[in-house]
């Protein structure tokens, strides 16, 4: 029986022979260009899935995680290409992916009337709450449920959740859809959607940490179902206050998480993509699949630097993607990013920075 990588190579060769010998090439430059790019990506994915180095996860199959590693590389190359275009050409290029793109889109503001109970509306006095019930409500819950499975720490999840709401307050003068009512920030987002997602995520983590991982004697159906659960489980103990290296690493993780969250909003703003567009959804699906691997590699690198002498491959490429996305935002709309920040916001961030630096000096140098 031939090995899987030889089988993939044979099938790939047969397809290429068919396209070359038996298929007539269409006389359409645009179509041929698109098909050539897609074919190049598929060949690279075939190579990566069969030849790339395995990561820390083995379930449901190592090839699944190798596939997402290769998708990470393709996405980073795409971002680099967009980064090297002019702003006009980059936005027009998006039309080649979807002809509906490439046109300016108005941003929806979530502020306005912030009354929870509106006595002037006799028909539906709670209409302000129902107006805020859009697709982002379940997205918040499921997003934080999955992030909790990645981070595996209640405190870090809550800090990132609260910090992002502060970022929305700080940047609502740049993006209109950051302008939300106070109860939308702290009740619907932090307490209800994010808080419930984090709670359910922590309950799932508790079940996974207590679940016995014996695979012998399972029935066929049960074995197939358990194939989609971890082979083994590692409890993350970040211990940020144990030493300066871990403290700075945890701060870096929180910073990169917040930057990736902001990129979600700023990228669709500068590239003119509506929130419901499938590319926005695909990006979220991508981060769901690569985020867990990246966090595990970061934790291993922090926890045992003598054994893990370099940062894992998925963590490396995810960090590069996050930075490249931000650089695209900087290049494509510097005007929005340089809008004057309100003085009160500046004072709050300066105070927060001073507190972090002061605590760091006290904890790791003075004490």
Which residues fall within 8 angstroms of residue 312, CB to CB, at 6 or more apart?
55, 56, 293, 294, 296, 297, 298, 300, 301
- Long-range contact pairs involving 109-114 (C-beta distance under 8 Å, separation at least 24): 109/176, 109/177, 109/179, 110/177, 110/179, 110/180, 110/181, 110/184, 111/172, 111/179, 111/180, 111/181, 112/181, 114/181, 114/182, 114/183, 114/184
Question: Residues 323-366: pLDDT tens digits?
Answer: 999 999 999 999 999 998 889 999 999 999 999 999 999 999 98
- pTM for this model (two decimals): 0.86
Residue that the structure tokens 């939308």 belong to:
184
pLDDT at residue 251 in the model: 95
pLDDT at residue 215 in the model: 42
CA dist 359 → 157, 199, 352, 366 (Å): 21, 29, 11, 10
DSSP state of 110: B
pLDDT at residue 334 in the model: 93
Q: What is the distance of C-alpha 117 from the center of its chain? A: 35
Query: Which segments of the chain have a pLDDT < 70?
Result: 1-2, 106-136, 210-233
């Amino acid at each position: 029986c031939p090995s899987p990588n030889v089988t993939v190579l044979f099938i790939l060769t047969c397809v290429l022979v068919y396209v070359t010998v038996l298929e007539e090439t269409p006389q359409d430059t645009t179509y041929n260009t698109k098909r050539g790019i897609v074919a190049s990506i598929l060949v690279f994915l075939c190579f990566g899935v069969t030849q790339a180095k395995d990561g820390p996860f083995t379930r449901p199959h190592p090839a699944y995680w190798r596939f997402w590693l290769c998708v990470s590389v393709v996405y980073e190359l795409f971002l680099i290409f967009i980064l090297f275009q002019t702003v006009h050409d980059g936005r027009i290029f998006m039309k080649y992916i979807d002809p509906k793109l490439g046109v300016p889109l108005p941003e929806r503001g979530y502020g306005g009337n912030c009354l929870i109970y509106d006595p002037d509306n006799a028909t539906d006095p709670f209409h302000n709450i129902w107006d805020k019930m859009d697709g982002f409500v379940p997205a918040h819950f499921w997003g934080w449920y999955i992030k909790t499975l990645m981070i595996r720490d209640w405190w870090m999840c809550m800090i990132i959740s609260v910090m992002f709401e502060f970022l929305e307050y700080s940047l609502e003068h740049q993006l209109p859809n950051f302008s939300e009512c106070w109860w939308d920030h702290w009740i619907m987002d932090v307490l209800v959607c994010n808080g419930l997602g984090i709670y359910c995520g922590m309950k799932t983590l508790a079940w996974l940490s207590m679940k016995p991982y014996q695979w012998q004697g399972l029935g066929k159906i049960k074995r197939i179902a358990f194939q989609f659960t971890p082979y083994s489980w590692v409890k993350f103990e970040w211990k940020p206050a144990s030493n300066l290296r871990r403290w700075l690493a945890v701060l870096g993780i929180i910073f990169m998480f917040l930057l990736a969250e902001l990129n979600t909003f700023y990228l669709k703003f500068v590239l003119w993509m509506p929130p419901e567009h499938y590319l926005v959804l695909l990006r979220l699906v991508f981060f769901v699949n690569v985020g867990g691997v990246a966090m595990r590699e970061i934790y291993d690198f922090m926890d045992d630097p003598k054994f893990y002498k370099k940062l894992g491959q998925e963590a490396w490429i995810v960090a590069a993607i996050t930075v490249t996305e931000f650089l695209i935002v900087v290049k494509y709309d510097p005007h929005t990013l340089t809008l004057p920040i309100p003085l009160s916001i500046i004072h709050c961030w300066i105070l927060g920075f001073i507190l972090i630096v002061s605590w760091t000096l006290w904890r790791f140098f003075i004490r």
